[in-house]
Amino acid sequence: MATTPRASPDRALEVIDLGATYADPPVTVFRDVSLCVSPGQVLGVFGPNGCGKTTLLRAIAGLHAATSGTTRLPRGPDTRVAFVPQGYRQSFFGWASLELNLVMTAPAGLSGYRATAATMRRICAELGLDLDLSLRPGQCSGGMLQQAALVRALGSEPDLLLADEPFSALDVEIAGSLRRSFRAHVAESGTIALLVLHDLASIVELCDRVLVIPDKPYTTVSAGAHAEAVLLDNRLLDRRAAEGAAEDVSFVDLMKRVLEGAGHG
Amino acid sequence: MADGGRRGATRWALLRRHPWMPSFVLLLAVWGLVSELGWVGSTLVATPAEVADAFVAATRPGAPDGRNVWLHANGTLGRAATGWAIALGLGLLVGLGAGARRLVYAGSEPLVELARSVPPIMVFPVLLVAFDYSDGAYVGTIVFGCVPVMVITVARGVQALSRPKLEVLRVHRVRSSVRALALVMELLPSVVLGARLTLSISLVIAVVTEMVFSPRSGIALGALAKEAEVAFDTPVFYAALVVIASVGYLANVGLRWIEERLLGKG
């Protein structure tokens, strides 16, 4: 079932010159990060381990205090934010069923509970997932929990989705189909999605744009219009050719540019 | 043959459901053999039949209150339960407060560990005077012995709450009532563990303090056990011992049952 976009196109996520540090020991994780993502778009965040991808997501979510810069959420303080943490397994309450875990975001009252439960089931169907929501987290595999974490996030009907490696525990077949249905859902619902991704297949298939954070700290990175070197416009790719991407010249070119941008080149 | 096989299978199924049964049967058998065959003097060990008689005699009409095991058990359990309940409440509050803030925990942990190292029986004389030899001294000693254990267990439980859980609740703006309920349920294993540990501690302290100084009412299992010991009334002494061991064991079984019902095994 198609959902109508909730956010108007001018309601974008804007991050301007954001910087973050760790206090003990004092380390600058990143600084001067700028990006802008419009409703219905997916921005991939890519870079080597330890470059600050997760901290960037946490800073936008308000879970890590930014030391400089500004984050403008699409609907200001009313923005509905959803989060899929890297430690998705630990984000579930073991004493409750998956369904109960998923509907914790429900508004007060029985009608709120029922509506949220129905939304979660609809999201499952839209994403093509066959999750048994009566199971407890301890009875689920890592892949099932990761799918449930994504359903919980999308089922809260967010304006902004922040997900840290949301497909890392899925097998190739499920990951492929989930990426396609996820991409369609984001476009239809007008959700702004920021995804930390490690694999190039996900970047190619999912992202409208990619923010590459280089290995070196203290480096200015940007996903704005003025920094083409690190802003890779994934729309250059023909998505229909993604399955044969390994032979696709534009894909190989993109890989090179991404790896060079990430300091692997 | 087939019947025999079925009976054997039923016995094994019974043992699998109640694996504690053989150890209890063995304990009774060894106790019965040692006491009935006279391997140990009757002033040291009463026979199971004599102990059963002591229980029955206590409930006979016109039996003296002084040897009524049930009456004394009532007094001791009342003090232990009061002290335990106060310690649970206090320990939970302090443990939640200390566990929620790393700095508060770091600041309070040495004090809590210091208090835990002091044998509660050492503060009992002080509390006796402070509470004018009333039951408050017994309850206070139980509270002193149980609170540090409860604080440490609960505070560790709070600190062990995984960050992703808290972060998802916060970012998704889960309602505060749902958030509180979810966290309370998450902390239940720590709370129940603390409750189980302090339950046995409270019973031990109740009996020991009563043995050291009999309460004004004289109604106390510890006092009864001490009097019976002095009077070489071995069956009554063992009756008191059996009561306190059984109460501790059954209460622990009850708490574990509650834990499994509330938290499941998933």
| Average pLDDT of the residues in B108-112 | 90
Per-residue confidence band for A182, with pLDDT thresholds at 50, 70 and 90: very high
pLDDT over 90 (residue B119): yes
Per the document, the length of chain A is 265
* Alpha helices in B1-119, H assignment, sequence order: 2-17, 21-36, 48-59, 69-100, 102-117
Q: Which residues of B touch A120 (CB under 8 A)?
A: none
CA pair distance A172, A250, nearest whole angstrom: 22
Q: Is A46 exposed, middle or buried (0-12, 13-18, 19+ CB in 10 A)?
A: buried
The mean pLDDT of A212-236, rounded to a whole number, is: 44
With cut-offs at 50, 70 and 90, classify the pLDDT of residue B103.
confident
**Lowest-pLDDT range of A9-13, A121-125, A137-141, B147-151:** A9-13
Rounded-to-5 percentages of helix, strand, coil across chain B: 80, 0, 20
**B164 has a chain A CB within 8 A of its CB:** yes
- Asked if the Cβ–Cβ distance from B185 to A139 is below 8 Å, we say no
B178 contacts A104? CB cut-off 8 A:
yes
Please report, for residues A164, B4, B91, the alpha-carbon distance to residue A149 in angstroms, rounded to integers and kept in the order given. 11, 54, 35
Confidence band, pLDDT 50/70/90 cuts, at residue B223 = very high
- pLDDT at position B258 is 83
Residues 181-240 of A with CB under 8 A from B: none
User: Smallest CA–CA separation between B252 and chain A, in Å?
Assistant: 21
Q: What chain B residue is nearest to A87 in terms of C-alpha separation?
A: B164
Q: Which of residues 118-147 of A touch B (CB under 8 A)?
A: 135-139
* Chain B environment of A61 (Cβ under 8 Å): 167, 171
> Taking CB atoms and an 8 Å limit, are B163 and A90 in contact across chains?
yes
Query: Which DSSP state fits A234?
Result: G
* Partner residue facing B164 (CB), from A80, A81, A87: A87
ipTM value, please give it.
0.81
Q: Give mean pLDDT, residues B226-237.
A: 90
- How many contacts (CB atoms, under 8 Å) link A and B? 73
The one-letter amino acid code at A34 reads S
Furthest CA-CA distance within chain A? 55
Q: Which residues of B32-49 are buried (b: 16+ CB within 10 A; e: fewer)?
A: eeebeeeeeeeeebbbbe
User: Model's pTM, two decimal places?
Assistant: 0.72
Nearest to A93 among B172, B177, B182 (CB): B182
Residue A243 pLDDT grade (very low, low, confident, very high; cuts 50, 70, 90): very low
* Residues 246-265 (B) with a CB less than 8 A from some CB of A: 262-264
What residues of A are in contact with residue B182 (Cβ under 8 Å)? 93, 96, 104
B262 contacts in chain A (CB < 8 Å)? 95
Q: Is A92's pLDDT higher than 50? A: yes
**pLDDT given at position A107:** 86
Mean pLDDT within A11-34: 84
Residue A72 near residue A38 (C-beta atoms within 8 A): no
User: Residue A47 has what pLDDT?
Assistant: 77
- Provide the pLDDT for residue B68: 83
- Confidence (pLDDT) at A229: 31
Burial class (CB in 10 A: 0-12, 13-18, 19+), B197: middle
**Quick check: A24 pLDDT over 60?**
yes
Tell me the CB-side half-sphere exposure of residue B256, using CA atoms within 13 A. 7
Q: Please tell me the predicted confidence (pLDDT) of residue B66.
A: 72
Model pLDDT, residue B124: 97
User: Cβ contacts (< 8 Å) between A86 and chain B: which residues?
Assistant: 164
Residue A90 in contact with partner chain B when CB distance is under 8 A: yes
Contact A85 B169 (CB under 8 A): no
Phi, psi of A210 (to 5 degrees): -130, 130
Q: Give A96's contacts in chain B (Cβ within 8 Å).
A: 182, 185
Distances B105 to A242, B94, B144, B148, B155 between C-alpha atoms, Å: 54, 10, 19, 13, 8
Residue A33 has φ and ψ, to the nearest 5°, of -85, 125
Q: Please list, in sequence order, all residues whose beta carbon lies within 8 angstroms of the beta carbon of residue B126, skipping any fewer than 6 positions away.
A: none
Q: Is the pLDDT of residue A244 over 70?
A: no
CB B165 within 8 A of CB A93: yes
Nearest Cβ partner of B168 from A58, A91, A137?
Answer: A91
Per the prediction, chain B carries an average pLDDT of: 89
pLDDT higher than threshold 70 for residue A256: no
- Would you say residue A90 has pLDDT above 90? yes
- Alpha-carbon distance A170 to A179, whole Å? 11
Q: What is the pLDDT of residue A202?
A: 81
